[in-house]
Amino acid sequence: MRTTVGIVGAGPAGLLLARLLHRSGIGSVVLESRDRAHVERRQRAGVLEQGTVDVLRAAGAGERMDREGLRHDGIELRYRGERHRIDFPALTGGRSVMVYAQTEVCKDLVALQLEEGGPLLFEAEALAVEGAEGDRPRVRFRHEGREDVLECDYVVGCDGFRGVARKAVPAALSRTYERAYPFGWLGILADVPPSHDELVYARHDRGFALLSMRSPTVSRLYLQVPAGTDAGEWGDEAIWDELERRLETADDWRLRRGTITSKSVTPMRSYVHEPMRHGRLFLAGDAAHIVPPTGAKGLNLAVGDVVTFADALIHLGDTGSAERLDAYSETCLRRVWQAERFSYDMTALLHRDPAATPFEDRVQLARLERIASSRAAAADLAEGYTGFPLGERR
């Protein structure tokens, strides 16, 4: 089997890249180790930056998002029972975000790829990426009980942190940067309308809490818990009681309770692999970087990576210049590190470190007070939350 771009992984990054290439007349094959049902039900991020929304619309993948997604023009910060709204459009020149689950993005892109695009092979396990240093890299994979080889001009690894793509970068050339946090998020899905019409980020002496949503009838909520916590240790009523404590306000706001349908714990870590390119192998999304979810950056960073790659490859075809392809890693990493910084800052701003001193607790509150009282500080948060530029765009 042969194609121009071999894409390993059918998450939002791989699927969007295939869509962008197809609309520019560039062939691709997508290899995904899991079945379609698994891809379309993986619970992940739900906040899309303005740039991601614009890309999906331009790629012809925004119709259902615009119909069913929830546009948000701000978030609310809570601390000491006080409520402070960050108005995104007023602080960023009109930008906003969209609440639309990654599962729904994947469903839309899978349907488009199967209807209009190139081959999308489910249950096709990538075994290795080989020959990245040469002109004809290849992906060895197993599909329908037999091994096969996908020969490509380029390989893009969108196969996550545990995938095979990053392993093809020689250890001697790799640099990794990592931070593990002493807490995680206990997350729930609940069949109850959201208790607020925008996301609420709460700093509390007992730990962080987040009020989010998946739809007008389904709420998504999170609690900071110690690293290594088992979700089964928490009963449903205990979760609602703790959410109520941490989200409490001095006014008459009340938390709505409902039936919890899903419960899990997400570890918190920051990770960057440099470089994001080795020969004709390009890393994208979680294969190259991970952010704590506080800043809502994971999916959006992946979109930035594949937009950068697609634009660079189109530029090569239009001009004969490989300059943008050669700069892929450097271009992406500028945005990645800004997102890492923002996510780290949001995490430090809102979570209670178990080792924090009283001085550090007061500094944390002072930072929140600065954001609540300073337009410049609030604008910095709003600009970071709604998204950094995606790089070269056509």
Question: What are the residue numbers of the active site?
Answer: 72, 201, 293, 297, 385
Identify the residue whose tokens are 């609440």.
99
Q: Which is nearest to 34 in space by CA: 9, 15, 5?
A: 9
CB 127 within 8 A of CB 141: yes
Tokens 């639309």 belong to residue: 100
The H-or-E segment that residue 348 falls in is helix 328-350
Distance CA 274, CA 278 (A): 10
User: CA-CA distance, 200 to 376, in Å (whole number)?
Assistant: 21
Strands 199-203 and 175-191: unpaired
Could you tell me if 41 and 379 are in contact, meaning their C-beta atoms sit under 8 angstroms apart? no
User: Cα–Cα–Cα angle for 100, 301, 120, nearest 5°?
Assistant: 70
Burial label for 367, CB within 10 Å (0-12, 13-18, 19+), is middle
- Whether the Cβ atoms of residue 212 and residue 46 lie closer than 8 Å to each other: yes
Name the token pair of 74. Answer: 């701000």
Closest CA to 255 of 314, 214, 196: 196
d(CA 377, CA 391): 24
CA distance linking residue 9 with residue 120, whole number of Å = 10
